[in-house]
Amino acid sequence: MNINKLAIIISVLLATTLSGKSRQLDAKLAQTPPMGWNSFDSYGVYLHEKAAFDNLEAFAKKLKPYGYEYFVIDAGWFGEFKLQPGTMFPAEKHAAKMKFNEFGLLQPSDTYFPNGFKKLIDRCHELGLKFGLHLMRGIPREAVKANVPIKGTKYFAQDIADTTSICSWNHQNYGINMSKPGAQEFYNSLMNQMAEWGVDFIKYDDIVPFPEEVKAAANAIAQSGRPMVLSLSPGGNVDPNHLEAFQKGHMLRVTPDIWDDQKGIDECFHDWRKWNGKSHTGFWIDMDMIPFGQLQMMSPKPAGIKGNETKKEIMDKIKAGEVANFELLAGKGFNRWSEFTKDQMYTFITLRALSASPLMMGGDLPTLDDFSLKLITDKDVLECNQNGVMASLVFDEAGIEIWKTPKKDGKGGWIGVFNRNNEVRSVSLNHENFGADFNKSAKLFDVWNNKKVKKFDFTIHPNGVVFLKY
């Protein structure tokens, strides 16, 4: 056997061994719904170095003691943004200029991360936390224009890019034609860089509609030798026929972006029904971040804007000269405290607990209010969520929905009695309303009112909930 053939065999065996090892490690990831913080709700795609460190330290103090572990920077970390004069605020929604290396691999921007990620990632790991990054499907358009080489291959960016495959809401990347030589190698090179940096969590965006690229990203993580949670986005029109590809990840976004309004809550209820029973250990149905606390920190409200206008109404005001022209930035609305009522917050977090959706806090952590912190660290919320069993709908009548999930050990569980109406409802229930298998001798405890339940008569506020432990 000649030396070249021997080298090829050794290379294949080594790659197979590493891939097998990473799959074995991968199988141990996300055994319960992942818990963490994501920067999008509070900083859009404009998180900067100081805010990152401030949120990381607050995370370690406020959330880590309760089991939260993933600190995730959302999109834009590679963008060389134009800034509003004399500020850190962006002057463009998505950066026209992206920072990438000679192989088209994204790098931390000089604008918002002038010192790179090393100190931030090292500090994250020093605190006993895990570090995550957002990525957009495909390859930067500017890298394709420059026709950069694909690392470790004889191919170039223009050999693999599909210039017809573009994201409708972000024009920074082209998709990749996975039938082309060098396509998988590009994803491999990107994930190898993530592994070298010490990344533990990848949120891949614009990838859900493209199952072949989902597989490519999963395979790239597998060959890197570093275990990384793979979170797939965006939600909305997710095709259940591609579930096999999605299950190569650990989290599947099924909802559109969820914000601090009733519309977002309703969308979560809709997708809870649609995807009921599809989650399992290591693969979780994800209903987006938790928009509690202070939001849209990098989007100050311009003079003349109330903050509740639609995009069309804002554009009409600009056109009429009522307000100065300005760029509408990523996210929803302007800097504000979450506009959920307390009842909506109770409903939101109870839904997340019962649905076993990953708990990814979205609001700013250094300024987080006590009530929000109390809800996201509540003992029963966390115990129910980390039980990892998506609740089933056992009663649905006149806008009253009852969802129930048993404990894995069979010794009790949790129940949510949701009032989906916009008015107060008084309900009188019995054991049968909690499902045919409900034990009539079970003792019930009202979590949010902190009291034992003796009678099943409840008065529930509009869009409110009774959260029961049995």
Range of lowest pLDDT (11-25, 59-73, 138-152, 433-447): 11-25
Tens digits of residue pLDDT in 384-412: 999 999 999 999 999 999 999 999 998 99
Question: Is the pLDDT confidence value at 128 over 60?
Answer: yes
Tens digits of residue pLDDT in 409-455: 989 999 999 999 999 999 999 999 999 889 889 999 999 999 999 99
pLDDT at 311: 84
3-state SS class at 465: strand
Question: Is the pLDDT confidence value at 1 over 70?
Answer: no
* CA atoms 418, 421, 425, 430: torsion sign: negative
Question: Is the pLDDT confidence value at 2 over 80?
Answer: no
Q: Output the CA torsion 420→421→425→430 (10° steps).
A: -30
pTM of the model: 0.93
Amino acid found at 393: L
Question: Is the pLDDT confidence value at 71 over 90?
Answer: yes
Six token digits for residue 111: 């604008």
Residue 25: pLDDT band by 50, 70, 90 thresholds? very low
CA–chain centroid gap for 74, Å, is 9
Alpha helices in 69-161 (DSSP H): 118-126, 141-146, 157-160
Question: Is the pLDDT confidence value at 9 over 70?
Answer: no
pLDDT at 327: 82
Tens digits of residue pLDDT in 220-276: 999 999 999 999 999 998 999 999 999 999 999 999 999 999 999 999 999 999 999
Angle at 245 between CA 276 and CA 210, to 5 degrees: 105
Residue 8: pLDDT band by 50, 70, 90 thresholds? very low
Are 290 and 361 contacting, i.e. CB atoms less than 8 angstroms apart? yes
| Residues near 241 by beta carbon (within 8 Å), at least 6 away in sequence | none
| Closest CA relative to residue 138, chosen from 64, 216, 230 | 216
3-state SS class at 257: coil
| Closest CA relative to residue 189, chosen from 152, 141, 216, 159 | 152
Tens digits of residue pLDDT in 265-283: 999 999 999 999 999 999 9
Measured CA to CA, the distance from residue 306 to residue 314 in angstroms comes to 10
Question: Is the pLDDT confidence value at 12 over 50?
Answer: no
| Closest CA relative to residue 466, chosen from 453, 454, 291, 370 | 453
Six token digits for residue 7: 């080298």
CATH topology classification for 3-300+335-388: TIM Barrel (3.20.20)
pLDDT at 435: 92
DSSP classification of residue 455: S
Measured CA to CA, the distance from residue 371 to residue 375 in angstroms comes to 6
Question: Is the pLDDT confidence value at 23 over 60?
Answer: no
The pLDDT of 87-113, averaged and rounded, is 97
The mean pLDDT of the chain is: 93
DSSP classification of residue 367: T
pLDDT at 26: 54
Superfamily of domain 393-469: Golgi alpha-mannosidase II (2.60.40.1180)
Q: Give residue limits of the domains in the chain.
A: 3-300+335-388, 393-469
